[in-house]
Amino acid sequence: MAARVTMNRVDEAFRNKPIFMPYFPLGYPDLETSIAVIEALAKNGADLIEVGLSFSDPLADGPVNQKAMQRALENGITTAKSLSAVAELRRRGVEIPLVLMGYYNPILAFGLEKFIGQAESAGADGFIIPDLPVEESEEFAGANHISKEQQVPGYSSLPLIRMLAPTTPSERMEKIASGAQGFIYLVSVIGVTGARQSLADGLAGLIGRVREHTSIPVCVGFGIGTPEQAKAVGVLADGVIIGSACVRYIGESRKPVQAARDFARSFHAAMLEIKHAQ
């Protein structure tokens, strides 16, 4: 397999900050619809998409995402089908970064090197694994490498995106942030995913603490449900991650692909307001 520069898409996305980053799981409400939904998000304003890999015990996810993943599993979604779906999205002309977000157990069961290799071949741009702490990620990092024969100038292995939370102690935050790649996924609230009525207190200070330890983009997720909230976060952060609100809005629609277009356009417009004001 010929090596390629995979970080360019992620780097390029952050050239015009803040960016809009929706999450949507493959296989919900069915595989073909989920592919079409992600394509619609990508072509109507999303700057980077977190592509969900379903798991039966998603501890970090709230009820909306859990329900969607359960539906996807009932429909027969698998890791192999998910990777094939990423390749299909690239064939359909989706050019923005696609970061795979999933739990470690299915990845281990699939085989680390096999998973990483097929993800790269499919056109993925990185990984988010909520239940893989930095202290236990050595095995994944070891599999996520390029042999000397394949290395080319400027090549970077697919980044494992690190997550930080408000409860992360300063010493551990420094350890995680200083070695992070791609961007930091900053969890804005304590608890599982899901839109909240208001933004977390002290968010600006939390973002500032993270930026003391890294120069890579800091993106905020968990609890953001409206374009107005996204705009408030986007003033502070480099990217805004919308998960449960995206899944709920699209999942409740009788026309999910059109709903995805409308959702992406509304949040894209919120980010544009910030950019035009800068």
**pLDDT per residue over 256-265, tens digit each?**
999 999 999 9
Task: Examine the pLDDT at 112 and tell me if it is beyond 60.
Answer: yes
**Can you give the pLDDT at residue 222?**
87
Question: Does 18 sit behind a cis peptide bond, omega within 30 degrees of 0 on the bond before it?
Answer: yes
CB atoms within 10 A of CB 181: 17
| In the chain, % of residues over pLDDT 70 | 88
* CA–CA distance, 56 with 61 (Å, rounded to integer): 11
Write down the catalytic residue from 39, 61, 125, 238: 61
Task: Examine the pLDDT at 133 and tell me if it is beyond 50.
Answer: yes
Q: How confident is the model at residue 189 (pLDDT cuts 50, 70, 90)?
A: low
Write down the catalytic residue from 50, 120, 125, 238: 50
**Can you give the pLDDT at residue 142?**
87
Task: Examine the pLDDT at 164 and tell me if it is beyond 70.
Answer: yes
Reading the block at residue 130, the tokens are 């909520």
Task: Examine the pLDDT at 6 and tell me if it is beyond 50.
Answer: no
* Average pLDDT score over the chain: 89
CB atoms within 10 A of CB 158: 22
Tell me if residue 22 falls in helix, strand or coil. strand
198-257 confidence digits (pLDDT tens): 566 789 999 999 999 999 999 999 889 999 999 999 999 999 999 999 999 999 999 999
| In the chain, % of residues over pLDDT 90 | 78
Mean local confidence (pLDDT), 82-89: 98
DSSP for 74-135, written as a single string:
HTT--HHHHHHHHHHHHHTT--S-EEEE--HHHHHHH-HHHHHHHHHHHT--EEE-TT--GG
Among 26-35, 54-63, 197-206, the range scoring the smallest mean pLDDT is 197-206
Mean local confidence (pLDDT), 81-93: 98
Mean local confidence (pLDDT), 171-195: 80
> Domains of the chain, with CATH numbers?
7-277 (3.20.20.70)
Mean local confidence (pLDDT), 43-59: 92
**Can you give the pLDDT at residue 72?**
96
74 is a catalytic site residue = no
CB atoms within 10 A of CB 155: 13
